[in-house]
């Protein structure tokens, strides 16, 4: 090949390569400016707010909602079973009558107590009237003696004047003074006796009142027992068993009914073999119920494996949650690692496993690409170590077609 031909071939190749490069640049410009989106419309993205809270990783488990407790209803006294209103398996509401005990003898005892109380109340009233009468007599006797003492004192003063002029004998004056001393002693003794007598009357009244109070207390207990002869459901629940029949005589504290308590619930959970090592008593769990996470703790763990799974109980912190229903299937998250009160944002497709990654942050009507440092990648949230502040709004959905852009405009933002 001639040298000139070789040069032409090289030039042609250079022109072809240059043409190809120019075409690639043009294609890139067309894609980035016209074909690939440089703006976002509502519905094209999902935004999450940055804030503080827990971030945790978890392994999955599942469970069934069960009543947390069973209730045992015992016989309140020895009696006969007069009627049964429910059967095993029946669902009952709080206050529903399940079983009734015979109360004829108890009603008779209550009527007798009421009659006794009527008599005792009458005796108390008579005693109070008698006390008032005696108090009047005692006060009258004491007042008479006081008047006598006053009279003697007046007489002694008059005698002293007469004694000065010789109108009476000294012996008569001394006799009057002695009568005054005796009268004062008599009054003192009378007052002491009156005090003792009044205390006796008060003691008698207190004794009668105490007897009445005891009878009232006994009556109250009998009436309470009469009400408890109607065996009622202490809470919403399901009757698991009835251990008696109509006409049977039952002794006090005999087990009559066993029922579940539907006021509080727990989760009977199972977990697959690969995750069994994560199940530990006291471990933290989240139950997902109707888009709500209920926190709980792992309780009893079965040591026996069934079908490559183990069973364990989850006791919920909010066991009275109104959306809990018996036999409801729930998903569980067994927490394996957790950080509390850290800066976080919801997990989404925008994240990858890299420690440093670019995210789009909302800044005054547009999304600006910024580099963010992440920490713990949790099940529902991602820890933010650097690059974001509380209150920032971040696009967490997949917008990979726009990742090459530094900014994205919003349409109708």
pLDDT at 136: 81
Q: Are residues 341 and 212 in the same domain?
A: no
**351 domain residue, yes or no:** yes
Within a domain: 3: no
- Judge if 159 and 112 occupy the same domain: yes
Q: Which of 400, 408, 398 is nearest to 45 (CA)?
A: 398
CATH number at residue 386: 2.40.30.170
Domain co-membership, 47 together with 194: no
- Round to whole Å and give the CA distance between 399 and 45: 7
Answer whether residue 22 is part of any domain: no
At residue 39, the pLDDT reads 54
- Which residue segment(s) compose the domain that 203 sits in? 105-227
Number of separate domains in the chain: 3
Same domain as 161, residue 79: no
Residues 275 and 386 in one domain: yes
- What pLDDT sits at residue 102? 93
Examine the fold and report which residue of 209, 243, 260 is the final residue of a domain before the chain moves on.
Answer: 260
Residue 211 lies in a domain: yes
Specify the long-range contacts of residues 171-177, CB closer than 8 Å, at least 24 apart.
176/152
6 located within any domain: no
240 and 91 within one domain: yes
Q: Is the pTM of this model over 0.85?
A: no
Task: Please list the rounded mean pLDDT of every run of 10 residues in the chain (413 residues).
Answer: 59 74 67 50 75 92 91 93 92 92 93 92 86 80 84 81 77 81 83 82 86 92 93 90 93 93 91 90 92 92 89 93 90 93 91 88 84 90 92 83 71 53
- The whole-number pLDDT of residue 63 equals 94
Spatial CB neighbours of 41, under 8 Å, sequence gap ≥ 6: 410, 411, 412
**Per-residue confidence (pLDDT) for residue 36, from 0 to 100:** 46
């Amino acid at each position: 090949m001639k040298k000139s031909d070789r040069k032409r071939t090289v030039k042609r190749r250079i022109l072809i390569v240059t043409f190809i490069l120019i075409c690639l640049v043009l294609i890139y410009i067309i894609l980035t400016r016209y074909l690939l989106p440089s703006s976002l419309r509502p519905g094209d993205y999902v935004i999450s707010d940055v804030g503080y809270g827990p971030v945790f990783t978890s392994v999955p488990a599942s469970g069934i909602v069960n009543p947390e407790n069973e209730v045992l209803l015992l016989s309140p006294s020895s009696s006969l079973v007069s009627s049964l209103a429910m059967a095993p398996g029946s669902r009952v509401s709080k206050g529903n009558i399940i079983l009734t005990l015979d109360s004829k003898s108890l009603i008779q005892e209550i009527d007798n107590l009421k009659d006794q109380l009527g008599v005792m109340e009458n005796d108390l009233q008579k005693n109070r009237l008698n006390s008032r009468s005696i108090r009047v007599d005692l006060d009258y006797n004491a007042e008479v003696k006081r008047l006598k003492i006053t009279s003697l004192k007046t007489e002694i003063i008059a005698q002293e004047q007469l004694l000065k002029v010789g109108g009476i004998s000294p012996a008569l004056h001394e006799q009057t003074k002695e009568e005054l001393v005796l009268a004062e002693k008599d009054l003192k003794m009378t007052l002491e006796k009156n005090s003792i007598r009044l205390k006796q009357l008060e003691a008698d009244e207190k004794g009668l009142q105490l007897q009445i109070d005891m009878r009232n207390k006994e009556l109250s207990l009998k009436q309470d027992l009469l009400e408890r002869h109607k065996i009622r459901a202490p809470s919403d629940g399901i009757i698991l068993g009835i251990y008696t029949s109509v006409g049977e005589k039952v002794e006090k504290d005999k087990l009559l009914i066993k029922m579940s308590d539907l006021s509080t619930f727990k989760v009977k959970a199972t977990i697959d073999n690969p995750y069994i090592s994560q199940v530990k008593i006291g471990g933290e769990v989240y139950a997902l119920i109707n888009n709500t996470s209920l926190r709980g703790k792992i309780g009893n763990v079965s040591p026996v494996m069934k079908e490559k799974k183990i069973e364990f109980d989850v006791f919920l912190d909010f066991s009275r949650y109104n959306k809990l229903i018996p036999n409801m299937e729930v998903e569980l998250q067994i927490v394996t690692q957790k950080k509390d009160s850290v800066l976080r944002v919801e997990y989404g497709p925008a994240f990858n496993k890299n420690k440093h990654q670019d995210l789009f942050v909302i800044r005054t009507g547009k999304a600006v690409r910024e580099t963010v440092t992440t920490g713990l990648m949790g099940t529902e949230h991602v820890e933010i170590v650097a690059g974001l502040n509380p209150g920032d709004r971040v696009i967490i959905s997949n917008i990979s077609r726009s990742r090459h852009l530094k900014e994205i405009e919003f349409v109708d933002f």
